[in-house]
Chain A
Amino acid sequence: MSISVDIRHGFGALSLDVQFEAPNGITALFGRSGVGKTSIVNAVAGVLRPDRGRIILGDHTVLDTEAGVDLPMHQRDVGYVFQDARLFPHMSVEKNLLYGRKVKKLPRDPDLMSQVVEMLEIGALLARRPGALSGGEKQRVGLGRALLSGPRVLLLDEPLAALDDARKAEILPFLERLRDEAQMPILYVSHSIAEVARLASTVVLLDQGHVALVGPTEQVLSDPAVVPLIGVRHAGAIVMARVTAHEEDGLSRLETGGGALWLPQVKAEIGSALRVRIRAQDVILSLKAPEEMSALNSLRGEVVTLREGDGPGVIVQLRCGDERVLARITRRSARVMKLQVGMKVFAIIKSVSVAHSDVGA
């Protein structure tokens, strides 16, 4: 099952011209605000009618302007989760959850209902009205409402953007479970690279109404060419790691393709696989194995590319085993170190520079 999007649409100032395929799992539509991310999702949902194009959900063509196909939104079977939840204020949480099944005349499915309620931990809220819920609770109910409506695909439009950091941390694990358990493509609109790094398996990077790059998340985020689009301060590669020990002094040991990483205690069992985002600006490069310094982690690697930007910085991509790591250093350092493609270097990473929100399942 996949979502296939090929649309063109003019908004006056912005013109949208995008083509991509989203497989099962979470596909992030990522880019700065105003690049048309929400418009794409709206086109898939049928809320916006693009000037031209084709949208196919699985084997179901919901839009084909050439063939004159344009299914109204209520026949598209999409589960849309909005940034502002949009729960029906006059209905209880339970009625909200069952709304899609009721209007679509789908049979009741108590098993699915209890599964969703359990997964999202909203059992205690069922009798309440949306007005009495917190932002995080509202989003969970919105997610449940979409899941229970019998969707072919899920559309999540910045579901965390309206929440504070604590609420975000509360929802993220639910989204990870959703990604792993829901057997359907999920489009996830976000302008937060941390969310994308943690959740998405595929990234569609958008720039001014066009697709700049599509690919697996690790590949896209470790590509030096995307750094200007993401912003140098946010750029960083994802490293796949496995938890091997929780140590007594509050650190966890993780094994990566490039060597061991010690991070502040991670909330995961030994043996579990994690995705760790290492920000480029938190990485120090050294020609020699570091000694007598406070940073705990040094991954041995080889320089793959050096990319100079307009500013004083250079983005260096390293290959550490089978992992890619990005480092942002100054041109001066690169010159003094005589960095060249193929050179062996050490990437030094402070344990405490990796935040909890940078580590996910």
Chain B
Amino acid sequence: MSGLADILGPVGLSALGLSLKVAFWATVLAMPLALYVAHVLARREFWGKQVLNGLVHLPLILPPVVTGYLLLMTFGRRAPVGAWLEESFGLVLAFRWTGAALAAAIMAFPLMVRAMRLAIEAVDHKLEQAAGTLGASDWSVFMTVTLPLILPGVISGAVMGFAKAMGEFGATITFVSNIPGQTQTLPSAIYAFMQVPGGERQALALVCVSIGVAMGALVVSEILARRVADRIRGA
């Protein structure tokens, strides 16, 4: 570990630490909402479902810089929501790590919803009906049947979301800039190192860390997805 610390240097280390913090909070905050939206998309029919579906997936398609710009327009200190948040809760998002977490959460959201929605759709709705006839309310059905069956899928979605949040760059740099020690996440640090002569070594080290995180997340989420299938078969 000390070898890694030497190569990354204090700036790289602080970027890695910040990225972990940002990704952690982004995942934790986005997960309940992602689960709720995934459940709604998987199980309910309502007017405007396609609009909701489109909105959820928009960050996946839009240029990240557009997402960042929209965030700034909404949550900037002089923007309506941003000003209200600061006045009411003293919460400032623009150019702070909290803003980085928000940007990462929004960018990770579609991936989380996707994984969870697939898991929910794989659960036979007839099982939920059976639970209902046995006396379980909707909430109780979700907690005792749906959630246990999709738990690996939920975790897999969270892992993917975490990895995506770790790697978020475009929206983050647009919304919260690239301030070392404050808003400089792993990708921003890689970008910064590449701008200065002699920074390639540190950039490469951070690149390796990024690849490790991404690969690890993919493997873990693949294993968990398989576990969902096993669980549903009841083996």
Contacts and interface: CB of A to CB of B under 8 A. Distances in A.
Contacts of B124: 86
B148 A77 contact: no
A99 B124 CA distance: 18
For chain A, give the interface size range. 20 to 34
B231 A86 contact: no
B50 interface: no
Contacts of A73: 129, 132-133
B140 interface: yes
B80 to A, nearest CB: 41
Nearest to B231: A90
A89 B233 CA distance: 6
Interface in B123-180: 124, 126-127, 129-137, 140, 144-145, 148-149
> Which of A72, A86, A87, A145 gathers most chain B CB within 10 Å?
A86
A305 B197 CA distance: 107
Given A88-B145, A90-B148, A99 B131 contact: yes
Contacts of A87: 234
Interface in A51-90: 72-80, 82, 84, 86-90
For chain B, give the interface size range. 20 to 34
Contacts of B51: none
Given A88-B127, A88-B145, A89-B149, A145 B235 contact: no
A332 interface: no
Contacts of A131: 233-235
A139 to B, nearest CB: 13
A166 interface: no
B228 to A, nearest CB: 11
A147 B132 CA distance: 15
Interface of A: 45-47, 72-80, 82, 84, 86-90, 99-100, 102-104, 129-132, 145-146, 149-150
Interface of B: 124, 126-127, 129-137, 140, 144-145, 148-149, 231-235
14 contacts: A45-B133, A74-B137, A76-B133, A80-B130, A82-B126, A86-B124, A86-B130, A88-B145, A89-B231, A90-B148, A99-B136, A103-B134, A129-B234, A131-B235
Given A75-B135, A80-B134, A82-B130, 18 more contacts: A46-B132, A73-B133, A74-B132, A74-B135, A74-B140, A76-B133, A82-B126, A86-B130, A88-B131, A90-B234, A99-B134, A100-B135, A103-B131, A103-B134, A103-B135, A103-B140, A104-B134, A131-B235
